[in-house]
Structure 1
């Protein structure tokens, strides 16, 4: 879905996310609870990150992949005392419920519950988020690693990480607390960030999303989600392909940002001279001009490369959410 021209209100909210604090209602995202005795082992075997080394109160981002390591979704997982809560993309909620269920075998003690309707999710985004988290009684979480979380009054989980590469927090709470907490956060000085402004920020930051950057055409290393992958945790779905790509430095294309001179169509070819070197996957207009995300063939080059999309000129730029480095 292309993000159209940004209005004044969205521009103010995006500036708040960068320099102050904004709050975005992400309640339409999916929330899946994974419970019972085998929950950690099960999730460890179903996705790219290491669950077995993590304890209650910790969390991580992980990628759900197919058996050939094609990307399904980027998921945030929070390990509670008696369950793991997964925050999943809105358009992957039903698919992932069915996908995960397929891998629960007769002897496995794993219970999946879609808790989206009973819960809500907010993202606090920006350097001034700490002050609000302090007022919510979750000051102890400040400065901890991404994914770490604690429970405060009203059954609110406050987790480190905004869902973008900007500093902030993710709040997961009972739906009945939603209005009250939202009002409180606005009173504490947060600026409301619309879904449209989130989408613009997502693209500027390079956070991949299903049906655009996360599809059957790409694996997590091409996306640049190195931080979500454990290379020494043993077997999981898609592991052999990912290990082989890493060992032989076999990543053939990378996700980049593209600063553009004019509007373009999503899905357009990216060219270097007469040669097609990639594809545009997302596009937005910002108060500073036009910006897209796209995959570029590794051999063609990277940052600073001048490209064309149709007649529109573009320059390849870095995006903070992803990385192009092979870990040492």
Structure 2
């Protein structure tokens, strides 16, 4: 059924690679300030967790507090190793009888296998990969509410991140969830695969501008969303990755909890993820220096109209926003990016 969606996208000017819309015609005209953007995230993984023990299981497997969530609520959470190294940033949606996990494209199998290995015979937990049965879109921008209304839906403007409900959009039953996947306001839409092409067409007909995975990559770097194999690796923990908003410091034991609690208690975060503005291109993995001292590593980079924006881990003692650095021989400046948060228990995280 997803082939129909790909055919519709190709017919409207999409360049596809391995079944993913990489770019659309006239994307350069799209503006987050003026337009509502539409990104196909169907290639991201969707895992469904069912069974009477599903909440307890997920509560014990990742950083956020699932036991506080009720049906219709959701959260971002991080799956980590026993030493609190990051595996993936995951969005969870709690329904009446399941939890839907939206995972990164290159972590679909890994997170499935990771969860499966911790399901023991006595656990009332079932794990199902529903990626092929569903499609997922991000509706991005301040005018997203107007698009929902235009298609017969109801905005969830005043609701917290992760709030979701089934709505009829263009007479198609769609799970509408608060949050675009970026720091920009918007919604995540999950729809049965056989309805995906129709919903996509209706959204575009309503005036939404489609963007491909290349522009998504640009936006996620500009806004600071970390991604696996670049910012989220087994070299870093979620405190270093600026994902404090995904961590409950009050809940009990979970995988990696001891390390995270110790880092928080003793303020032991030695490096932090920041944005960095560069004058010229530098390869990810490049060393970052301030004066004669090595202070960090570049993890991602993209070109803007004026310069280059990257993400980088910077030693906490070296400083943060405003720090002047060199990436190889390229001058740069450390900058804030809106997706990230930081702080210690008792201190409000600041984006």
Give the TM interval when normalised to the shorter protein. over 0.9
Match of 2:154 in 1: 139
CA distance in 2, matches of 1:257, 1:220: 16
Shift in alpha-carbon separation, 1:315–1:9, aligned structure 2, 3 A? farther
CA deviation vs aligned residue, 1:208-241 (integer Å, no higher than 9, x gap): 0000000001000001101100110111100011
Cα distance change, pair 10–315 in 1 and its aligned pair in 2 (3 A): farther
Matched, 1:303 2:303: no
Show CA shifts across 1:120-178 (max 9, x none): 00000000001112233331523210100010233310000000000000001101111
CA distance in 2, matches of 1:50, 1:137: 33
| Corresponding position of 1:240 | 258
Alignment CA distance shift 1:8-1:285 (3 Å): farther
1:85-100 → structure 2 map (5 Å cutoff): 85-100=100-115
* Cross-structure match for 1:109: 124
Cα distance in 2 for partners of 1:287, 1:38 equals: 50
Q: What whole-Å deviation, never above 9, does each CA across 1:12-36 have from its counterpart, x for those lacking one?
A: 23x1x34321000000000000011
- In structure 2, what is the Cα distance between the partners aligned to 1:7 and 1:157? 25
Q: For this pair of structures, how many residues does the alignment match?
A: 321
Residue in structure 1 matched with residue 284 of structure 2 by the alignment: 266
**In 1, Cα distance between equivalents of 2:33 and 2:270:** 33
Q: How far, CA to CA, are the matches of 1:186 and 1:8 in structure 2? A: 13
Mean Cα displacement is larger for which, 130-139 or 66-75? Answer: 130-139
The residue number in structure 2 matching 1:171 is: 189
| Cα distance in structure 2, aligned partners of 1:37 and 1:248 | 37
Distance 1:49 1:323 in 2: 15
The residue aligned with 2:41 is: 26
Counterpart in 1 of 2:60? 45
| TM-score between the two structures when normalised by the length of structure 1 | 0.95
2:249/2:345 contact within 8 Å kept: no
Higher RCO (CA < 8 A, seq sep 6+): 1
Deviations 1:34-76 (A, max 9, x none): 0111101000000000111110000000000000000000000
2:62, 2:255 within 8 Å by CA — same for their partners in 1? yes
Given that 2:278 and 2:332 are in contact with CA atoms closer than 8 Å, whether structure 1 keeps it comes out as yes
The equivalent of 2:230 in structure 1 is: 212
| Conserved? CA contact 1:270–1:307, under 8 Å | yes
Change over 3 Å in CA distance of 1:226–1:97 after alignment to 2: same
Task: Name which of 295, 305, 321 aligns with 1:277.
Answer: 295
SS of the equivalent of 1:151 reads strand
Paired residue for 2:244, among 205, 210, 226? 226
Could you tell me whether the CA contact under 8 Å between 1:18 and 1:166 is conserved in 2? no
Deviation per residue, 1:51-105 (Å, 9 max, x gap):
1111000000000000000000000000011100000000000011110000001
Alignment match, 2:26: 9
- Gaps spanning 5+ residues in structure 2: where? 1-22, 347-351
Of 69, 74, 86, the match for 1:71 = 86
Q: TM-score, normalised by structure 2?
A: 0.89
Distance 1:260 1:44 in 2: 40
1:186/1:327 Cα in 2 relative to 1: closer, same or farther (>3 Å)? farther
The alignment's C-alpha RMSD in Å is 1.4
Name the residue aligned to 1:323. 341
Name which of structure 1's ranges 129-138 and 278-287 shifts more when overlaid on structure 2. Answer: 129-138
Q: Does residue 129 in structure 1 map to residue 129 in structure 2? A: no
